[in-house]
Amino acid sequence: QVQLVESGGGLVQPGGSLRLSCAASGFTFSSYAMSWYRQAPGKERELVAFISSATGSTTYATSVKGRFTISRDNAKNTVYLQMNSLKPEDTAVYYCYASRSWGQGTQVTVSS
């Protein structure tokens, strides 16, 4: 069974940093692209970052480009999202996605 488990969320002040992790199992991790999405209250779930399988090429939402970095460690079957210079607008539940499956999400709150 495919399983994606996010961790690393929490409360952080504006300008702070946080690193999210998504541990994957149940599929050949290195063969799949991985994505991070987020959903704020009252808003649609949106793509935040994407990383391909073979080359590790990345794509980011305009709103986070230059602040967030997606990476993967195929040996650990884990994808990361390093979030720097966080803003209140980044507050949302963050989900990882792969192999047609979603993780349970981890809450990120940016507030003073």
pLDDT tens digit sequence for 5-22:
999 999 999 999 999 999
Q: What percent of the chain has pLDDT over 90?
A: 99
What is the C-alpha separation between 71 and 79, in angstroms, rounded? 6
Q: What percent of the chain has pLDDT over 70?
A: 100
What is the C-alpha separation between 42 and 25, in angstroms, rounded? 31
User: pLDDT category, 50, cuts 50, 70, 90?
Assistant: very high
Q: Which pLDDT does position 33 carry in this prediction?
A: 97
